[in-house]
Structure 1
Amino acid sequence: MTEDIVAGTGERMPGIGTCAREAAGVEPFAAALERHGLSLVRGETTTLQVNTGYLCNLRCRHCHLEAGPGRAEVTSRKTMAAIVSFARRFPFRVIDITGGAPELVPDLPFLVEGLAPLAPRLMLRTNLSALRDAERQPLLALCVARRVVLVASFPSTNPSETDAQRGAGATEAGISVLKKLNAAGYGVEGTGLELDLVSNPVGAFLPVSQESAEREFRDDLRRKWGVTFNHLYTFANAPLGRFRTWLFRTGNYERYVKTLTESFNPSAVDGLMCRTLLSVSWDGYVYDCDFNLAVDRPTGGRKVHLSDIRELPVPGAPIATGDYCYACTAGSGFT
Structure 2
Amino acid sequence: MSSPTATVSLKQRHALLSSTQQQINLLEAVDLSHLPEQGNFEATLNHHRWEKLTPSKLEIFQINVGKLCNMTCRHCHVDAGPDRKEIMDLATIDACLQALDQTEAHTVDITGGAPELNPHFRYLVEQTVVRGKHVIDRCNLTVLLLPSMKDLPEWFAERGVEIACSLPHFRQPNTDSQRGDGTFEQSIAALRKLNAAGYGKGDPKRKLTLVSNPVGASLSCNQAALLEKMWKEGLMENHNITFDRLIAINNMPISRHLEWLEQSGNLQAYMELLVNSFNPATISGLMCRNTLSVAWDGRLFDCDFNQMLELEIQHPDRKSLHIRDLATELLAQRQIQTGRHCFGCTAGKGSSCGGAIA
Q: Which TM-score applies when normalising by structure 1?
A: 0.93
Per-residue deviation, residues 138-162 of structure 1 (Å, max 9, x unmatched): 4333311110111000110121110
CA distance in 2, matches of 1:311, 1:114: 21
Among 296, 305, 309, the alignment partner of 2:310 is 296
1:234 shift after superposition: 0.5
User: 1:158 aligns to what?
Assistant: 171
1:186 shift after superposition: 0.6
User: 2:249 aligns to what?
Assistant: 235
* Change over 3 Å in CA distance of 1:182–1:313 after alignment to 2: farther
CA distance in 1, matches of 2:204, 2:177: 34
1:22 shift after superposition: 2.5
CA distance in 1, matches of 2:103, 2:23: 33
Percent of aligned pairs with the same amino acid: 35
User: 2:300 aligns to what?
Assistant: 286
Preserved CA contact (<8 Å) 1:47 1:277: yes
Per-residue deviation, residues 239-283 of structure 1 (Å, max 9, x unmatched): 001110111111111111111111000001111111100000001
Residue 344 of structure 2 is aligned to residue 327 of structure 1:
yes
1:120 shift after superposition: 3.5
1:192 shift after superposition: 3.2
- The residue type paired with residue 146 of structure 1 is R
User: 1:37 aligns to what?
Assistant: 49
**Alignment partner of 2:30: what SS?**
helix
Which residues of 2 match residues 195-210 of structure 1 at below 5 A? Answer: 195-209=208-222, 210=224
Residue 129 of structure 2 is aligned to residue 116 of structure 1:
yes
User: 2:276 aligns to what?
Assistant: 262
CA distance in 2, matches of 1:176, 1:312: 46
Residue 37 of structure 2 is aligned to residue 24 of structure 1:
no
1:310 shift after superposition: 2.3
In structure 2, list runs of 5 or more residues that go unmatched. Answer: 1-9, 33-37, 353-358
Preserved CA contact (<8 Å) 1:49 1:279: yes
**Alignment partner of 1:131: what SS?**
helix
**Alignment partner of 1:91: what SS?**
coil
* Change over 3 Å in CA distance of 1:332–1:249 after alignment to 2: same
Preserved CA contact (<8 Å) 1:43 1:316: no
In structure 1, list runs of 5 or more residues that go unmatched. Answer: none
RMSD, aligned α-carbons: 2.1
Preserved CA contact (<8 Å) 1:268 1:333: yes
- The residue type paired with residue 61 of structure 2 is L
- The residue type paired with residue 327 of structure 1 is G
* Change over 3 Å in CA distance of 1:214–1:83 after alignment to 2: same
**Alignment partner of 1:299: what SS?**
coil
Per-residue deviation, residues 153-211 of structure 1 (Å, max 9, x unmatched): 01101211100000000000100000000000011134731000100111111111222
Residue 291 of structure 2 is aligned to residue 277 of structure 1:
yes
Preserved CA contact (<8 Å) 1:131 1:177: yes
Which residues of 2 match residues 158-197 of structure 1 at below 5 A? Answer: 158-190=171-203, 192-197=205-210
Preserved CA contact (<8 Å) 1:95 1:119: no
Preserved CA contact (<8 Å) 1:121 1:148: yes
Preserved CA contact (<8 Å) 1:42 1:313: no
Preserved CA contact (<8 Å) 2:211 2:248: yes
- The residue type paired with residue 118 of structure 1 is R
**Alignment partner of 1:96: what SS?**
strand
- The residue type paired with residue 169 of structure 1 is G
CA distance in 1, matches of 2:335, 2:177: 38
Preserved CA contact (<8 Å) 1:6 1:245: no
1:64 shift after superposition: 0.8
Preserved CA contact (<8 Å) 1:181 1:187: yes
1:312 shift after superposition: 4.8
User: 1:130 aligns to what?
Assistant: 143
